[in-house]
Amino acid sequence: MAFPKRSALPKPNSTENLTPRRGENVREMLDSMVAEYERAAQRADELQMAIEQVAVESICGGTDESEHVELYDGTLGVSRDQVLMTEAPVGQLQWLNFAGLFSGPTDDAGNLSGVRWGTGTLVSPDIFLTAGHLFDQYGGGWIRPKRNGETLAPEKLATLMGVV
């Protein structure tokens, strides 16, 4: 599993034992600290994914009603017949190009600009049926866009995606 490179190292509580002593190789010390940090970041991402599997985050509420389009049973408002009639027009959600959208001093475009994200099916001219977890705010090692230092809410994240 690949994770994006981190752009900053954590600030240690104490720099006492981090100051190189005479004869110590500063580069080796730095490489060791970076490797330790990256292992910790990877473990944090793995824990976040595990948390998300247990506590499903959805803009639809606390109940996990996500399911594969092919297995849709008609209980979420659009009839199964309607889905079967229009199942062929499968599309893919893709993040829009964020160029210039996150330029404030505390904004962050994250690392999703232009990334293909998930699939679904067009069930009417203006309804695209897809999985709710595609709008999760965290997880998978991806950095979601932030405005004023806060990750955007799922309903805002959805506006940054388009169907291709």
pLDDT in tens, 46-101: 887 777 666 555 555 555 555 666 677 888 788 888 877 766 667 888 999 988 89
Position 116 confidence tier, pLDDT thresholds 50, 70, 90: confident
Model-level pTM? 0.48
Which residue reads 């699939």 in tokens?
A: 119
Domain ranges across the chain: 1-55, 66-163
Position 9 confidence tier, pLDDT thresholds 50, 70, 90: low
Rounded to 5 degrees, what angle do the CA atoms 128, 135, 161 make?
60
